Amino acid sequence: MKNLSSLKSPIVKESLDRKAATQLRIAVLSGEIPPGTRITEQFLASQMGLSRGTVRAALHRLVSEGLIVQNIYSNWEVMKLTAEDADELYTLRASLEGLAGRLAARRVDQDSRALLSAAFDNLAEVAKSGSEVDLADADLNLHHTIVEISQNKRLIEHYRQVEGQLRMYIGSVNGLLPTPEAVASSHQPMVDAILAGDETSAEELLIEHSEVYGEKLNRLLLSMEA
């Protein structure tokens, strides 16, 4: 087969799309671009020094992740968490993470114990001195680690598809707890169950964790919307 030099430029452009999407994702999840903010391709292109086409492709990536909503023409809007969103996310999260907890407890070994313990220790440390953004990142990382330990490829893939939305959701849920330390300590029982290889408890605790705080957030958002 002859040299396919015509395929080189799309690869570079795709790389720019990914980099732009990563920068935008960070800006959204950190709150630098607040929920509900309307943005345009032209503004982002000028801010990022990129073409509107590259910015548009990056925005479409975030649309697929549920972090950006596309309006008419070239207007886009950052996702704003509603009571309906919270209800759907916590029920989905309970299902995915409950299964992940059971499988993680079943398959936990020396290496995965070290990974999970490190993720929990990081959450506890960040709770002492980190910002709300860092706390939410560490929180999601702990749950992400549990899902990875499950070793179920399809479960991991489904979780990754909603991970951005879950990060935004977790940031809201953490605000319901009295202190950052309480956020960390609320994860201790489920981590202990997985480390002990207790499948039933791990599943039940992860489901309970999602449902208890998810229902609280849902009620809060409903009252705000009313």
Q: Looking at per-residue confidence, does 7 or 179 come out higher?
A: 179
The reply to whether 148 and 133 lie within a common domain is yes
> Looking at the whole model, is its pTM more than 0.75?
yes
The reply to whether 160 and 214 lie within a common domain is yes
Helix (H, G, I), strand (E, B) or coil at 53: helix
Which pLDDT score is estimated for 75? Answer: 85
The reply to whether 55 and 107 lie within a common domain is no
Q: What is the pLDDT of residues 20-65, one digit of tens each?
A: 999 999 999 988 999 999 999 999 999 999 999 999 999 999 999 9
Q: Count structural domains, the chain.
A: 2
Domain encompassing residue 94: 83-225
Distance, CA of 95 to chain centre: 16
Summarize the confidence of residues 167-196 as an average pLDDT. Answer: 95
The reply to whether 129 and 170 lie within a common domain is yes
Q: Which of 47, 78, 109 is the last residue of a domain?
A: 78
- Tell me the two tokens of residue 113: 């114990």
- Asked whether 24 and 62 are in contact (CB, 8 A), the reply is yes
Q: Which of 20, 50, 78 is the last residue of a domain?
A: 78
Q: What is the pLDDT of residues 151-167, one digit of tens each?
A: 999 999 999 999 999 99
Start-to-end C-alpha separation, the chain: 64
Q: Which residues contact 171 (CB under 8 A, 6 or more apart)?
A: 29, 31, 132, 133, 136
